[in-house]
Amino acid sequence: MPPEQGPLLQEWHARFIRDVGVPSVIALFLIWFLSSQLLSAIEQHSVDTEAWMRQLITVSRQICVNTAPDAEARALCLTTRP
């Protein structure tokens, strides 16, 4: 049996490592691993930021209501803006 036909090189990942090279495979794995870690960190940051923003908007609206000089100004504090 020729060396290329061995059971190890029949697997796609072994052929990929052979064709691309070990350093490239390591680099691709690190890119995949770090990007997946970064994506989960960004998603968690988004959730945390959304919670803080809701709290800040609530506090700023309450400050606006408490400092508004009249009923019309208080009504403007509670309207949603884009």
DSSP SS3 for 70:
coil
Q: Is the pLDDT of residue 10 over 70?
A: no
Q: Is 17 exposed, middle or buried (0-12, 13-18, 19+ CB in 10 A)?
A: middle
Q: pLDDT-based confidence at 7, cuts 50/70/90?
A: low
Amino acid, single-letter form, for residue 9: L
The whole-number average pLDDT for the span 38-42 is 88
Q: Which is higher by pLDDT, 67 or 6?
A: 67
Q: What angle do CA 53, 51, 75 make, to 5 degrees?
A: 50
Which of 10-14, 25-29, 72-76 bottoms out in mean pLDDT, i.e. has the lowest? 10-14
pLDDT by residue (tens digit) across 41-76? 898 999 999 999 999 999 999 999 999 999 998 888
Q: What are the structural domain ranges in the chain?
A: 3-78
Q: Is the dihedral of CA 8, 35, 48, 80 positive or negative?
A: negative
